[in-house]
Chains A and B, each alone.
Chain A
Amino acid sequence: MADRSESDRLAQETWLQRLIRRPEIGAFIVMIVIIVALAIASDGKAFNALGLKNNIKIIAQYGIIAIGAALLMIAGEFDLSIGSMIGFAGMSMAIMLKWGLPFGLGEATPFLAFIITLAMTLTIGWIIGTIVVRSGLSSFIVTLAFLFFLRGTTEVSFRLINQSTQVSGLPDYKEESWFANILGGEVFGWFYDAWYWIGTKMIAGVEFPTRLTADNINFLAALNINRRLEQWVTGFDARLMWFMIIAAAAYFVLSRTQLGNWIYATGDNKEAARANGVPVNRVKVGLFMFTAFCATMFAACQVFDTNTSDAAKGNLMELFAIAIAVVGGTLMTGGFGSVIGVVFGAITVGLVANAVFFIPTIDGAWFRVFLGSILLAAVFANERIRKRITGGI
């Protein structure tokens, strides 16, 4: 008895026990449930060639901003201005592309429009962060103010410069500008090429009737083959690549670097972090700039994909970003969370948002009902997991 020490009370665990103690496990299970449920409910259509592309599109869109929001939440702050920032960035790029650079500096190339917009949004992110850390006010209030401020600025700018709250009919910049193409074009064509190649092998020798039945069409769609027996889908939206880049970079920074340790330390207990020499304020301001960057990437992909923009773009996106971060296991009060969990969360919420398109019998508004239920379920699951990991805090 006398030889027992405190450290003996920590049980040795098998790899399975370790796995179910991962912070991402709750988000992972919810994601698997949604994937299976959607596959069954949509009769497989949600994951045929086009279904997958459309799902990935919205998942990547949500994911880009959710990672920004999650990193900021881990550092203990909120950003409610993400949605308005998307609208502002989209407006800025579209107006420059249509009406030229400010101060009569001539035509705007996609690259210039993007860089000037990014400079503006990063500056606004810096201003928001600086106000929060200098004033000590809650970031909830400060960014709420910027939610209104930026949305108003966006609409006023549209009316003043463009006389209308939307820009449409821009030329398709993807055609000639490589820069517009990497933001709004298609990526990973090899994936769909391979899919089509496998499909052609599978239907080799199969005779189809001249008028294809619905079953035939579904079968071909699952093999990336269209009704004329040609390749159907040619690639994913470029958003997917940006989502993967941003997620990989965020994962690396958060779990492997000094900066990641500072982000956790800042959100957990900022006085303790400060007492140990962590530059708490610089971490926070930097992360407000990072959410602004994510919002700008969201807007840039949208503008160069659709060649349009309007004053309502990005509406409510800040709340989706926060919901995804929470579904992904990020703690509302900071100090805990993982990028992998947020990726799972983005997949879950993206699929739920798209589900109504694949299940035509249900009313589209059910989406929000599902989302609310999943949010609650995920939060309960994540709370339990976190308490097991951290000893009940």
Chain B
Amino acid sequence: MAEPYLRVENLTKQFGPFTALGGVDLEVYPGEVHALLGDNGAGKSTLIKTLAGVHQPTSGTIYIEGKPVNFRSPRDASAAGIGTVYQDLALNQLMSVTRNFFMGRELKGPLGTLRMDEMNKIAHDEMLKIGIDFSDPTQAVGTMSGGQRQTLAIARAIHFGAKVLILDEPTSALGQKQQMGVLKTIKRVRARGDIAIIFITHNEIHSRLVGDRFTFLALGKVIGAGTSDEIGDHEMRRLMAGGAEMGDLEQELAQI
């Protein structure tokens, strides 16, 4: 078994008296999609924000390639190769594809000038690699579809050195066809073999389609984990519902 790129051990996070994460373990391997599932309020967001350096853990350790690390800021996390693609994607709609791609990390020539041709080419090529052929890198991001924007944000994270790609509900708020487009993109990134993907979702079908390994969170704790072979469809549905049996839920519903 290969060594996990990112390993989380007994991570807890408390906000005052509230325990958002109560001892979470997680292992993420390069070339694998690790689906992180759970209901609203299960602690998914807190977990990824801790991995991205936004929050500092109350206790527990994060290991990168076996070495313990301590992220004091998002900058530390991205320097360690953790690229987070949030739901809002951190894109500027009025700006062009290229200007968004290189936002804050522009390629500079003399006098701080932008090497625009080179940047256009890189943005185009990086997006082509993971599946969309973008004819005009000067068009505004506001004219792109949701799926294309997602691809842009992912391509950007990879280009700037992400080894762990955290995707925060990338398929929510998209139409059916675009959801499939994003899943294809995830598959293509996975096929590179060197990038570990953490895929956060509500959707069991999507996670089943691309996931290699699953972790289920409920109320800040891991209630189930395993590879896709180990977790059957029935078990998956039970864990998605926070550990309740579907039969029980059906009964509860019937009583109303």
Interface residues of A (CB under 8 A from B): 5-7, 10, 256-262, 264-265, 268-269, 271-273, 275-278, 331, 335-336, 389-393
Are A276 and B99 within 8 A (Cβ)?
Answer: no
A278-B112 CB under 8 A given contacts A390-B142, A393-B142:
no
Q: What does DSSP make chain B's interface, helix, strand, loop or mixed?
A: loop
Are A256 and B113 within 8 A (Cβ)?
Answer: yes
A259-B112 CB under 8 A given contacts A271-B90, A390-B142, A393-B142:
yes
> How near does chain B come to A264, taking the closest CB pair, in angstroms?
5
Are A5 and B132 within 8 A (Cβ)?
Answer: yes
Q: Which residue of B lies closest to A387 (CB)?
A: B142
Neighbour of B140 across the interface among A257, A265, A272, A390, CB < 8 A: A390
Are B91 and A389 within 8 A (Cβ)?
Answer: no
Q: Which residue of B lies closest to A336 (CB)?
A: B94
**Please, which residues of chain A bring their CB within 8 A of the CB of B92?**
264-265, 268-269, 272-273, 335
Interface residues of B in 105-147 (CB under 8 A from A): 105-106, 108, 111-114, 116, 132-136, 139-140, 142-145, 147
Are B114 and A258 within 8 A (Cβ)?
Answer: yes
A391-B104 CB under 8 A given contacts A268-B95, A269-B93, A272-B88:
no
**Please, which residues of chain A bring their CB within 8 A of the CB of B95?**
261, 264-265, 268, 335
Are A258 and B75 within 8 A (Cβ)?
Answer: no
Neighbour of A273 across the interface among B103, B106, B133, B142, CB < 8 A: B103
Starting from the known contacts A7-B133, A271-B88, A393-B94, 12 additional A-B residue pairs (CB-CB under 8 Å) come to A7-B134, A259-B112, A261-B114, A264-B94, A268-B93, A272-B89, A275-B74, A335-B95, A390-B94, A390-B140, A391-B142, A391-B143
Interface residues of B (CB under 8 A from A): 74-75, 86, 88-95, 99, 102-106, 108, 111-114, 116, 132-136, 139-140, 142-145, 147-148
Are A258 and B112 within 8 A (Cβ)?
Answer: yes
Q: Identify the 8 closest CB pairs spanning chains A and B, nearest first.
A: A391-B143, A277-B104, A276-B104, A268-B92, A391-B142, A272-B90, A275-B90, A390-B142
16 contacts between A and B (CB under 8 A): A5-B132, A6-B145, A256-B113, A257-B111, A257-B114, A265-B92, A265-B103, A269-B91, A269-B92, A269-B93, A271-B88, A272-B89, A273-B92, A275-B74, A331-B94, A390-B142
Are B90 and A262 within 8 A (Cβ)?
Answer: no
Are B94 and A268 within 8 A (Cβ)?
Answer: yes
**Please, which residues of chain A bring their CB within 8 A of the CB of B108?**
258
> How near does chain B come to A219, taking the closest CB pair, in angstroms?
48
> How near does chain A come to B158, taking the closest CB pair, in angstroms?
14
- Per the bound structure, the CA–CA distance linking A258 and B108 in Å amounts to 7
A335-B103 CB under 8 A given contacts A272-B88, A391-B143:
no
A391-B140 CB under 8 A given contacts A257-B112, A264-B92, A273-B92:
yes
**Please, which residues of chain B bring their CB within 8 A of the CB of A256?**
113-114, 116
Among the interface residues A257, A276, A336, which one has the most CB atoms of the partner chain B within 10 A?
A: A276
> How near does chain B come to A269, taking the closest CB pair, in angstroms?
5
**Please, which residues of chain A bring their CB within 8 A of the CB of B88?**
271-272
Are B91 and A272 within 8 A (Cβ)?
Answer: yes
**Please, which residues of chain B bring their CB within 8 A of the CB of A6?**
132, 144-145, 147-148
- Per the bound structure, the CA–CA distance linking A7 and B132 in Å amounts to 8
**Please, which residues of chain A bring their CB within 8 A of the CB of B140?**
389-391
Are B132 and A392 within 8 A (Cβ)?
Answer: no
> How near does chain A come to B93, taking the closest CB pair, in angstroms?
5
- Per the bound structure, the CA–CA distance linking A264 and B102 in Å amounts to 13
Are B94 and A261 within 8 A (Cβ)?
Answer: no
- Per the bound structure, the CA–CA distance linking A277 and B102 in Å amounts to 10
Are B133 and A5 within 8 A (Cβ)?
Answer: yes
**Please, which residues of chain B bring their CB within 8 A of the CB of A264?**
92, 94-95, 99
Are A261 and B103 within 8 A (Cβ)?
Answer: yes
Are B105 and A276 within 8 A (Cβ)?
Answer: yes
- Per the bound structure, the CA–CA distance linking A8 and B75 in Å amounts to 37
- Per the bound structure, the CA–CA distance linking A262 and B105 in Å amounts to 10
- Per the bound structure, the CA–CA distance linking A265 and B114 in Å amounts to 15
- Per the bound structure, the CA–CA distance linking A277 and B74 in Å amounts to 10
**Please, which residues of chain B bring their CB within 8 A of the CB of A257?**
111-114
Are B142 and A392 within 8 A (Cβ)?
Answer: yes
Are A278 and B104 within 8 A (Cβ)?
Answer: yes
> How near does chain A come to B209, taking the closest CB pair, in angstroms?
20
**Please, which residues of chain A bring their CB within 8 A of the CB of B94?**
264, 268, 331, 335-336, 390, 393
Q: Which residue of B lies closest to A278 (CB)?
A: B104
Are B135 and A10 within 8 A (Cβ)?
Answer: yes
- Per the bound structure, the CA–CA distance linking A10 and B114 in Å amounts to 25
**Please, which residues of chain B bring their CB within 8 A of the CB of A335?**
92, 94-95
- Per the bound structure, the CA–CA distance linking A262 and B112 in Å amounts to 12
Neighbour of B103 across the interface among A259, A276, A391, A393, CB < 8 A: A276
**Please, which residues of chain A bring their CB within 8 A of the CB of B93?**
268-269, 390-391, 393
Q: Which residue of A lies closest to B151 (CB)?
A: A6
> How near does chain A come to B113, taking the closest CB pair, in angstroms?
5
> How near does chain A come to B107, taking the closest CB pair, in angstroms?
9
- Per the bound structure, the CA–CA distance linking A258 and B116 in Å amounts to 10
Q: Which residue of A lies closest to B127 (CB)?
A: A7
Q: Which residue of B lies closest to A255 (CB)?
A: B114
- Per the bound structure, the CA–CA distance linking A277 and B94 in Å amounts to 18
**Please, which residues of chain B bring their CB within 8 A of the CB of A7?**
132-135
**Please, which residues of chain A bring their CB within 8 A of the CB of B133?**
5, 7
